[in-house]
């Protein structure tokens, strides 16, 4: 009898604690989630870029989600160079075709994958980009060749709306 | 437990008191049944969509809604236009953007992320175009008026001829629900003014109700999730309170004192 | 303070506790002997702690999104309400939380008044409490300015102008407060800074308030000194913790009802109109919790004296332990005081009511009478009552029966029932 009573008491206290803990967790979530991107930020997820005036060999930098995006119209030599690289030489093997849908246009996030600096255009040992912060060298396909960065520069989602316009995001 | 009841009584008195003092200077407004009132209140989607139509076709030529974006029209708990519809609505407005690479402003069709296009560039321009009276921004209008939705609903239907002996200046109209009865907005609604896509008859009463519902949503876009979350929260708290109550009884049963 | 020496069981616990006796503190708080006859009016201390923490947490979160600039404050609040994830929830909790905080603090204060908790040896607890209350009013006022609506702006204008009543330097002080020639952006930014600061001051004072409480221990409904620990006390944990927890949950249900179903009912519609220095709202009223003092301010036809009266109405409370000359604490054993107590409650409610009404005609007359009575209660009634009142016999302990075997707790309870409806 008295053992039974103890059990019931244990159950009551356990249930109270459990239900209380669920509530506490439910209250914590809004306080955390409020720091995530808000609805207005999420809505600005895409940018359209006019590329009609770009000649081969020119790079422009546009702002997308607060970060720079490099858009380079590559020359035929550069395309050939990018395609000729042996994948075994790469730290993060990726074919150039997979990085540039249209080989003439390279659209990539201009953020060094090491610690987030913006690499410099047409610098470094591989005729591509060079990050001045900690010395990462990228090739003309934006692939990491030398230095501390672990991966190639990221390719955002983008599409050609028409011949003159790229939509990023 | 008894003293808890006393405390509850105080709460109720306090609550009743605050309601009463808020409604001290109340005028009898026209009544209608609002779908969004009550513990489970939700917006009537049809009314919101029609209300948006009335706002766009009638109100928006003078009244801005600067805190709303076209994306809101497709969001859950709102008029819930489809994404395609909302995009089409946005694209039907010309939005000023820029500066472009030449340093000039340009116009382009609206996008979902754009705010509602404003009828005037600034308050002064709005005043100049409306005989000195600024048509208030409608984003939070319902919450900015003591009578709330009932007031707006009544005001839209409150135009009458002034009582004998009352003289009105040019551009001033008589409205029996307006504070001081003088309003600078002329009567805007007349039967059949807009043509509803869903076949609803566009009477003045219907349009007033629809546009007021729309304004309520504009001011409280999260009303539905608030009501849903509130119900869950109160059910949860009640369950936990009961559990804690019995736990308390158990614990205090160890000593001989009434809790 | 601590009635027993505490030694941690584990070796590390002992090592740590010798260097920073946090475990001793925790043990003291857990075992703290509390009178076992505390009724639910005593749970509001815990509820107030909850209110303070809620306001601080939600306030920190809001400050991550709020922009303290005259051109952007109103917009940023709307941004919080519309776009920030759960922003509407957090803001409504914060806004209604202020009202709930004051509701709880008024109950807490009036509990002290009824049971004589401010009397020796608890004067310091009481005075710290009054300072906390003053800071709460300051924080609430400053916070109300931040959304930069019409009531924010004109409330700030009216309240800061109170300082202009000070002879000679008043005008200079007001300009200094504003950082300009009217309430404007500099005012808003400094108000935001102070609004952010004050809750932490309150938190510090709350620690002192509780510390000072733990020296003599809690008062109790019977109002007698009790031996601690004894048959009359229970350890704070779990007895008082669970009871406070139960009351807190009840309180939270009411709180939730306001937040989820009538979030704007305690606010004023005009505050959803952006601040406009050219137009004053037709009817300026402060938030409900300041109304009694607002009524006192308006009931005096002189600017300076009105401000003085309003301030005295609060500061007079600090002198209460010496104004009340009765040796008996609890109103349970003071039949006359009990009646005056309820008259005072009614008086304050009346002041609150007329504070919300226009200051004219009958309202003004009522406000004046009520103001006069408020001061009369503290300055005349209480001092005289201590000498004249014939009090009831007070029991020697909470549990032990005296008076021919009748259990005194029951007696005390009966008396209480007669009075506290």
Q: How deeply is C316 buried, as exposed, middle or buried, from its count of CB atoms within 10 A (0-12, 13-18, 19+)?
A: middle
Do the Cβ atoms of C300 and C293 come closer than 8 Å?
no
Mean pLDDT (chain C, rounded): 92
Query: What's the CA gap between A149 and B226, in Å, rounded?
Result: 46
Query: What's the CA gap between C235 and C244, in Å, rounded?
Result: 13
Query: What's the CA gap between B168 and B184, in Å, rounded?
Result: 10
Query: What are C35's strand-pairing partners?
Result: C233
Q: How deeply is B70 buried, as exposed, middle or buried, from its count of CB atoms within 10 A (0-12, 13-18, 19+)?
A: buried
**Residue C415 confidence (pLDDT) above 60:** no
- pLDDT score of A1: 43
**Each residue of C50-86: b (16+ CB within 10 Å) or e?**
bbbebbbbbbebbeebbbbebeebbebbbbbbbbbbb
> What mean pLDDT is predicted for residues A114-131?
92
Q: What is the DSSP string of C207-219?
A: HHHHHHHHTT---
Whether residue A31 lies within 8 A of chain C, CB to CB, comes out as yes
**Residue C414 confidence (pLDDT) above 50:** yes
What would you report as the CA-atom Rg of chain B, rounded to the nearest whole angstrom? Answer: 24
- Report how far Cα B203 is from the mean position of its chain's Cα atoms: 20
Cβ distance of B246 and A44 shorter than 8 Å? no
User: Rounded to the nearest 10 degrees, how much is the dihedral formed by the CA atoms of C141, C144, C148, C151?
Assistant: -80
pLDDT per residue as tens digits for the range B42-64: 999 999 999 999 999 999 999 99
Nearest to C270 among B8, B144, B248 (CB): B144
Rounded to the nearest 10 degrees, the angle between the axes of helix C291-299 and helix C335-356 is: 80
Query: What's the CA gap between C50 and A106, in Å, rounded?
Result: 56
Cβ distance of A31 and C87 shorter than 8 Å? no
pLDDT per residue as tens digits for the range C328-368: 999 999 999 999 999 999 999 999 999 999 888 899 999 99
Whether residue A2 lies within 8 A of chain B, CB to CB, comes out as no
- pLDDT score of B246: 95
Asked which of A87-101, B140-154, C368-382 is least confident by mean pLDDT, the reply is: A87-101
Mean pLDDT (chain A, rounded): 89
How many other C-beta atoms lie within 10 A of the C-beta of residue B124?
10
First and final C-alpha spacing in chain A: 68
pLDDT per residue as tens digits for the range C70-84: 999 999 999 999 999
Contacts of B247 in chain A (CB under 8 A): 12-13, 16
* Token pair recorded at residue A86: 């042996």
Query: What's the CA gap between C86 and C84, in Å, rounded?
Result: 6
What count of Cα atoms within 13 Å lies in the side-chain half-sphere of residue C1?
Answer: 14
Query: What's the CA gap between C239 and C242, in Å, rounded?
Result: 6
Query: What's the CA gap between A130 and A146, in Å, rounded?
Result: 10
- pLDDT score of A49: 86
- Please report the number of interchain residue pairs, chain A to chain B, with beta-carbon separation below 8 angstroms: 32
Determine the residue among C253, C277, C285, C286 to mutate to test chain B binding: the one whose Cβ has the most chain B Cβ atoms within 10 Å. C253
Whether residue C83 lies within 8 A of chain A, CB to CB, comes out as yes
* Token pair recorded at residue C147: 């959304």
Contacts of C53 in chain A (CB under 8 A): none
Classify A167 as helix, strand or coil: strand
**Angstroms from C100 CA to nearest CA on chain A:** 18
Do the Cβ atoms of A138 and A144 come closer than 8 Å?
yes
Question: In Å, how far are A18, A22, A33, B194, C340 from A25, measured between CA atoms?
Answer: 11, 5, 12, 49, 47
- pLDDT score of A6: 61
Query: What's the CA gap between B65 and C323, in Å, rounded?
Result: 58
> CA of C82: which chain A residue's CA is closest?
A39
- pLDDT score of C284: 86
Query: What's the CA gap between C417 and C421, in Å, rounded?
Result: 7
Q: How deeply is C43 buried, as exposed, middle or buried, from its count of CB atoms within 10 A (0-12, 13-18, 19+)?
A: buried
* Token pair recorded at residue A84: 């000729």
Angle among Cα A106, A112, A117 to the nearest 5 degrees reads 120
Query: What's the CA gap between A104 and B62, in Å, rounded?
Result: 49
> What mean pLDDT is predicted for residues A21-28?
94
Classify B141 as helix, strand or coil: helix
Asked which of A91-105, C125-139, C198-212 is least confident by mean pLDDT, the reply is: A91-105
Contacts of B148 in chain C (CB under 8 A): 269
Determine the residue among A34, A36, A42 to mutate to test chain C binding: the one whose Cβ has the most chain C Cβ atoms within 10 Å. A34
Whether residue A39 lies within 8 A of chain C, CB to CB, comes out as yes
> CA of C87: which chain A residue's CA is closest?
A34
Contacts of C103 in chain B (CB under 8 A): 11, 14
- Please report the number of interchain residue pairs, chain B to chain C, with beta-carbon separation below 8 angstroms: 112
Do the Cβ atoms of C248 and C420 come closer than 8 Å?
no
How many other C-beta atoms lie within 10 A of the C-beta of residue C342?
15
**Residue B24 confidence (pLDDT) above 60:** no
Contacts of A39 in chain B (CB under 8 A): 71, 75
Which of A37-51, A110-124, C188-202 is predicted most confidently? C188-202
Cβ distance of C253 and B221 shorter than 8 Å? no
- pLDDT score of B206: 96
Cβ distance of B243 and A23 shorter than 8 Å? no
* Token pair recorded at residue B218: 């504009």
- pLDDT score of C283: 83
pLDDT per residue as tens digits for the range A27-76: 999 999 999 999 988 887 778 888 888 899 899 999 888 899 999 999 99
Classify B94 as helix, strand or coil: strand
- pLDDT score of B18: 54
Whether residue A161 lies within 8 A of chain B, CB to CB, comes out as no
- pLDDT score of B23: 47
Cβ distance of C90 and A38 shorter than 8 Å? no
Nearest to C253 among B146, B237, B255 (CB): B237
**Residue C49 confidence (pLDDT) above 90:** yes
> What mean pLDDT is predicted for residues B133-157?
94
Peptide bond into B143 cis (omega under 30): no
> What mean pLDDT is predicted for residues A142-147?
93
Q: Tokens 């800061």 — which residue?
A: C160
Whether residue C257 lies within 8 A of chain B, CB to CB, comes out as yes
Query: What's the CA gap between C108 and C210, in Å, rounded?
Result: 14
Query: What's the CA gap between C46 and C26, in Å, rounded?
Result: 17
Q: How deeply is B163 buried, as exposed, middle or buried, from its count of CB atoms within 10 A (0-12, 13-18, 19+)?
A: exposed
**Residue C209 confidence (pLDDT) above 90:** yes
Cβ distance of A19 and B247 shorter than 8 Å? no
Contacts of B71 in chain A (CB under 8 A): 39, 43
- pLDDT score of C1: 43
Identify the residue with better confidence: A51 or B141: B141
Question: In Å, how far are B18, B30, B201 from B205, measured between CA atoms?
Answer: 31, 10, 10
**Each residue of B98-112: b (16+ CB within 10 Å) or e?**
eeeeeeeeeeeebbb
| Tally of residues, chain A | 169
First and final C-alpha spacing in chain B: 7
Do the Cβ atoms of B207 and B189 come closer than 8 Å?
yes
Nearest to C36 among B148, B219, B255 (CB): B255
Query: What's the CA gap between A142 and A95, in Å, rounded?
Result: 11
What residues contact residue B14 under an 8 Å CB cut-off, 6+ apart?
Answer: C103
> What mean pLDDT is predicted for residues B90-111?
90
Do the Cβ atoms of C295 and C367 come closer than 8 Å?
yes
**Residue A77 confidence (pLDDT) above 50:** yes
- pLDDT score of B10: 64
- What long-range pairs does B182-190 form, CB within 8 A, spacing at least 24? B183/B155, B184/B130, B184/B131, B184/B132, B184/B133, B185/B62, B185/B133, B185/B135, B187/B159, B188/B58, B188/B59, B188/B156, B189/B58, B189/B156, B189/B157
Q: How deeply is C170 buried, as exposed, middle or buried, from its count of CB atoms within 10 A (0-12, 13-18, 19+)?
A: middle
Asked which of A129-138, B74-83, B165-174, B189-198 is least confident by mean pLDDT, the reply is: B165-174
Do the Cβ atoms of C122 and C324 come closer than 8 Å?
no
**Residue C2 confidence (pLDDT) above 70:** no
Residue A122 phi/psi, 5-degree rounding, is: 55, 45
- Strand ranges in C2-145 using DSSP code E only, listed in sequence order: 33-35
Looking at the annotation, which residues of A are catalytic? 134
Cβ distance of A35 and C90 shorter than 8 Å? no
Which band of pLDDT confidence, cut at 50, 70 and 90, is reported for residue A122? Answer: confident
Binding partners of A (≥3 Cβ pairs within 8 A)? B, C
Do the Cβ atoms of B29 and B153 come closer than 8 Å?
yes
**Angstroms from A153 CA to nearest CA on chain C:** 31
Query: What's the CA gap between C201 and B3, in Å, rounded?
Result: 33
Binding partners of B (≥3 Cβ pairs within 8 A)? A, C
Cβ distance of B112 and A43 shorter than 8 Å? yes
Question: In Å, how far are C163, C171, C173, C176, C304 from C168, measured between CA atoms?
Answer: 11, 7, 10, 14, 12
Query: What's the CA gap between C56 and C143, in Å, rounded?
Result: 12
Determine the residue among B67, B145, B218, B247 to mutate to test chain C binding: the one whose Cβ has the most chain C Cβ atoms within 10 Å. B67
Residue B228 phi/psi, 5-degree rounding, is: -65, -45
**Angstroms from C90 CA to nearest CA on chain A:** 8
* Token pair recorded at residue C81: 């309400």
Bin B97: left if φ > 0, else alpha if -120 < ψ < 50, else beta.
beta
């Amino acid at each position: 009898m008295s053992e039974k009573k103890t059990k019931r008491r244990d159950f009551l206290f356990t249930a109270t604690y459990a239900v209380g803990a669920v509530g506490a967790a439910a209250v914590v979530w809004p306080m955390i989630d409020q720091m995530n991107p808000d609805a207005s930020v999420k809505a600005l997820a895409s940018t359209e870029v006019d590329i009609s005036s770009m000649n081969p060999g020119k790079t422009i930098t546009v702002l997308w989600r607060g970060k720079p995006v490099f858009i380079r119209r590559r020359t035929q030599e550069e395309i050939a160079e990018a395609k000729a690289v042996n994948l075994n030489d790469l730290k993060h093997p990726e074919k150039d075709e997979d990085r540039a849908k249209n080989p003439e246009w390279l659209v990539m996030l201009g953020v060094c994958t090491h610690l987030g600096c913006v690499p410099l255009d047409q610098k470094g040992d591989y005729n591509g980009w060079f990050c001045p912060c900690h010395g990462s060298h990228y090739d003309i396909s934006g692939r990491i060749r030398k230095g501390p960065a672990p991966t190639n520069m990221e390719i955002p989602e983008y599409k050609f709306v028409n011949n003159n316009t790229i939509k990023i995001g | 437990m008894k003293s808890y009841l006393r405390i509850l009584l105080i709460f109720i008195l306090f609550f009743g008191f605050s309601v009463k003092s808020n409604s001290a200077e109340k005028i009898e407004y026209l009544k209608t049944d609002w779908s969004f009132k009550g513990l489970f209140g939700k917006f009537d989607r049809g009314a919101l969509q029609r209300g948006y139509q009335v706002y766009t076709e009638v109100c928006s030529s003078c009244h801005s809604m600067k805190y709303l974006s076209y994306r809101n029209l497709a969001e859950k708990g709102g008029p819930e236009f489809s994404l395609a519809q909302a995009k089409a609505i946005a694209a039907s407005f010309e939005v000023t953007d820029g500066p472009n690479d030449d340093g000039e402003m340009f116009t382009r069709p609206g996008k979902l992320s754009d705010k509602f296009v404003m009828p005037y560039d600034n308050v002064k321009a709005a005043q100049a175009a409306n005989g000195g009276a600024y048509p208030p921004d409608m984003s939070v209008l319902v919450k900015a008026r003591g009578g709330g939705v009932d007031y707006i609903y009544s005001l839209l239907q409150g135009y009458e001829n002034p009582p004998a002996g009352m003289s009105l200046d040019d551009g001033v109209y008589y409205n029996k629900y307006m504070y001081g009865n003088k309003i600078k907005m002329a009567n805007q609604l007349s039967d059949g003014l807009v043509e509803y896509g869903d076949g609803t008859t566009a009477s003045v009463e219907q349009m007033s109700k629809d546009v007021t519902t729309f304004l309520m949503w504009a001011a409280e876009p999260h009303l539905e999730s608030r009501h849903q979350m509130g119900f869950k929260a109160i059910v949860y708290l009640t369950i936990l309170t009961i559990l804690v109550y019995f736990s308390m009884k158990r614990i205090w049963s160890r000593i001989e004192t009434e809790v | 303070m601590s009635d027993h020496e505490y030694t941690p069981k584990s070796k590390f616990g002992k090592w740590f506790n010798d260097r920073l006796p946090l475990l001793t503190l925790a043990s003291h708080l857990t075992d703290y002997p509390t009178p076992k006859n505390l009724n639910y009016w005593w749970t509001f201390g815990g509820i107030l702690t909850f209110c303070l923490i809620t306001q601080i947490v939600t306030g920190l979160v809001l400050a991550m999104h709020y922009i303290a600039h005259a051109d952007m404050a109103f917009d940023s609040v709307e941004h919080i309400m519309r776009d920030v994830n759960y922003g509407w929830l957090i803001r409504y909790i914060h806004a209604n939380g202020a009202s709930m905080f004051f509701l709880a603090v008024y109950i807490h204060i009036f509990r002290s008044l009824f049971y004589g908790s401010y009397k020796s040896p608890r004067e310091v607890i009481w005075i710290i409490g009054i300072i906390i209350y003053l800071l709460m009013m300051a924080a609430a006022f400053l916070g109300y300015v931040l959304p930069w609506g019409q009531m924010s702006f004109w409330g700030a204008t009216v309240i800061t102008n109170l300082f202009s009543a000070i002879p000679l330097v008043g005008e200079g002080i007001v300009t200094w407060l504003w950082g300009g020639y009217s309430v404007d952006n500099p005012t808003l930014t400094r108000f935001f800074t102070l609004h952010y600061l004050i809750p932490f001051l309150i938190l510090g004072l709350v620690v002192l308030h509780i510390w000072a409480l733990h020296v003599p221990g809690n008062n109790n409904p019977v109002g007698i000194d009790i031996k601690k620990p004894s048959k009359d006390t229970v350890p704070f944990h779990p007895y008082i913790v669970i009871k406070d927890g139960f009351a807190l949950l009840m309180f939270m249900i009411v709180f939730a009802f306001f937040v989820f179903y009538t979030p704007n009912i305690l606010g004023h519609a005009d505050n959803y109109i952006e601040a406009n220095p050219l137009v004053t709202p037709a009817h300026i009223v402060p938030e409900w919790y300041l109304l009694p003092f607002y009524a006192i301010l308006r009931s005096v036809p002189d600017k300076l004296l009105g401000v003085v009266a309003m301030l005295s109405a609060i500061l007079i409370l600090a002198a209460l332990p010496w104004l009340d000359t009765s040796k008996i604490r609890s109103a349970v054993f003071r039949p006359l005081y009990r009646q005056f107590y309820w008259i005072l409650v009614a008086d304050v409610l009346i002041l609150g009511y007329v504070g919300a009404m226009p200051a004219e005609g009958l309202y003004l007359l009522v406000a004046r009478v009520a103001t006069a009575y408020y001061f009369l209660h503290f300055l005349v009634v209480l001092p005289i009552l201590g000498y004249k009142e014939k009090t009831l016999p007070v029991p020697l302990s909470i549990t032990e029966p005296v008076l021919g075997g009748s259990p005194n707790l029951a007696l005390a309870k009966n008396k209480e029932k007669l009075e506290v409806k």
